[in-house]
């Protein structure tokens, strides 16, 4: 009971600490749903539930689907079930941001409300797109959109987690302008790399199968692109990210940069090296699903790190209402001036 009361207080009477906890929960839950979605794709379970919003045309929950194993069905259905805690966390985070007041008499933080509103609204959009993915038998363009929208929602959660501990005023740079530009380019390149990764996956063999009206197994739709070429393009972006990360780390080392910015810089360098090892290993070993999953999970972590690195190169000052010291009311000041005269 005490735990429930504390949970209720963290939503209805939020503090900065509890609000950051809800934002962190949103980051973690969105990262988890992306990686479990990748597991669905890579295990050929995308049609484990071949209908939407029901699992099959005859059942709302997991049931036998023609041409799919029981494991495939439960992997897909389990991923759908994870959306319920995701929705709960997103909804409670929004309510907490709506209720949050930095201090007595302060206005609500509209920037936090807007960011948190993206979380539940994005999940609704994801549900619609997910249904289209199933009904179009895993059209690769819709699968890519599904993944990229999840990455966008995750980005909003990451920004929310950072903005909670900042003010609502103007931005103040914490590093040199060139390093901020590099950090911005790094985040942008990481986003492009995620998009390119969906094209590689949508072109490659890890797609899954479906059963036609004659009982024959056929591969789900693919991008009609040369796999070697799209893989090379994806690798070229990774090399650009590697060089940019190294340049940022060197620049931060020889400048007055915050410690957290240097930490995220080194995490980017280490993460890119690990991703390169996994990426080349999976390519030369004919794309085993397990290695590809680790590559996707690593890409999600790199995305979070790239965003955090960019956000750590600046801060937001307190808002105008917080920066103006409270003083006596105009009438009181006038009376005091009259008495002094």
- Does residue 332 lie within any of the structural domains? no
pLDDT digits (tens, 9 = 90+) for 137-187: 889 999 999 999 999 999 999 999 999 999 888 999 999 999 999 999 999
- Do 34 and 128 have their domain in common? yes
The model's pLDDT over 35-56, given as tens digits with 9 standing for 90+, comes to 999 999 888 788 888 888 888 8
What was the pLDDT predicted at 164? 95
Domain that holds residue 263: 173-318
Do 286 and 139 fall into the same domain? no
**pLDDT for the residue 189:** 97
Last residue of a domain, one of 163, 184, 212: 163
Residue 272 near residue 302 (C-beta atoms within 8 A): yes
Domain boundary among 133, 163, 193: 163
Q: Is the pLDDT of residue 34 over 90?
A: yes
Q: Is the pLDDT of residue 85 over 70?
A: yes
pLDDT reading at 324 higher than 80 = no
Tell me: the pLDDT tens digits for 255-282?
989 999 999 999 999 999 999 999 999 9
- At residue 212, the pLDDT reads 52
Residue with tokens 């409670």: 92
- Quick: pLDDT tens for 197-226: 999 988 888 765 565 555 555 677 888 899
Domain boundary at 129, 163, 197, which?
A: 163
> 249 and 212 in one domain?
yes
Report the number of distinct structural domains present in the chain.
2
Reported as a pLDDT band with limits 50, 70 and 90, residue 27 is very high
Both 232 and 294 in a single domain? yes
Give the mean model confidence (pLDDT) for residues 226-238. 93
What whole-number distance in Å separates Cα of residue 52 and Cα of residue 24?
30
Q: How would residue 338 be classed by pLDDT, with cut points 50, 70 and 90?
A: very low
Assigned token pair, 226: 């040369």
289 and 149 inside one domain: no
Q: List all residues 6 or more positions away from 151 whose beta carbon is below 8 Å from its beta carbon.
A: 34, 191, 194, 300, 303
335 inside domain = no
Dihedral angle, C-alpha 30, 25, 155, 163, nearest 10 °:
170
Percentage of residues in the chain having pLDDT higher than 90: 62
Measured in residues, the chain has a length of 341
Asked if 152 and 191 sit in the same domain, the reply is no
């Amino acid at each position: 009971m005490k735990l429930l009361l504390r949970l209720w207080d963290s939503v209805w009477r939020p503090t900065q600490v509890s609000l950051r906890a809800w934002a962190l929960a949103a980051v973690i839950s969105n990262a988890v749903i992306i990686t479990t979605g990748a597991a669905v794709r890579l295990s050929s379970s995308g049609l484990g539930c071949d209908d939407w919003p029901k699992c099959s045309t005859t059942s709302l929950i997991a049931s036998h689907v023609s041409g799919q194993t029981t494991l495939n069905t439960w992997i897909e259905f389990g991923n759908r079930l994870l959306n319920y805690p995701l929705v709960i966390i997103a909804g409670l985070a929004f309510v907490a941001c709506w209720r949050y007041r930095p201090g007595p008499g302060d206005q609500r933080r509209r920037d936090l409300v807007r960011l948190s509103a993206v979380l539940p609204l994005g999940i609704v959009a994801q549900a619609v797109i997910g249904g289209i993915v199933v009904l179009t038998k895993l059209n690769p363009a819709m699968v890519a959109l599904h993944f990229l929208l999840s990455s966008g929602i995750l980005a909003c959660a990451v920004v929310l987690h950072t903005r909670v501990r900042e003010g609502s005023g103007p931005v103040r740079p914490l590093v040199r302008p060139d390093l901020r530009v590099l950090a911005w380019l790094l985040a942008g390149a990481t986003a492009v790399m995620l998009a390119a990764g969906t094209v590689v996956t949508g072109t490659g063999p890890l797609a899954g199968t479906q059963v036609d009206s004659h009982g024959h197994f056929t591969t789900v739709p693919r991008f009609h692109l040369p796999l070697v070429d799209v893989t090379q393009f994806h690798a070229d972006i990774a090399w650009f990210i590697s060089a940019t990360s190294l340049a940022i780390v060197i620049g931060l080392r020889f400048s007055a940069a915050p410690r957290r910015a240097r930490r995220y810089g080194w995490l980017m360098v280490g993460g890119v090296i690990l991703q390169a090892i996994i990426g080349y290993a999976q390519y030369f070993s004919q794309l085993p699903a397990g290695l590809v999953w680790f590559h996707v999970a690593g890409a999600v972590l790199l995305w979070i790190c790239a965003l955090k690195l960019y956000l750590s190169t600046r801060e937001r000052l307190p808002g105008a209402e917080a920066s103006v010291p409270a003083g006596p009311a105009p009438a009181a000041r006038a009376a005091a001036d009259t008495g002094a005269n």
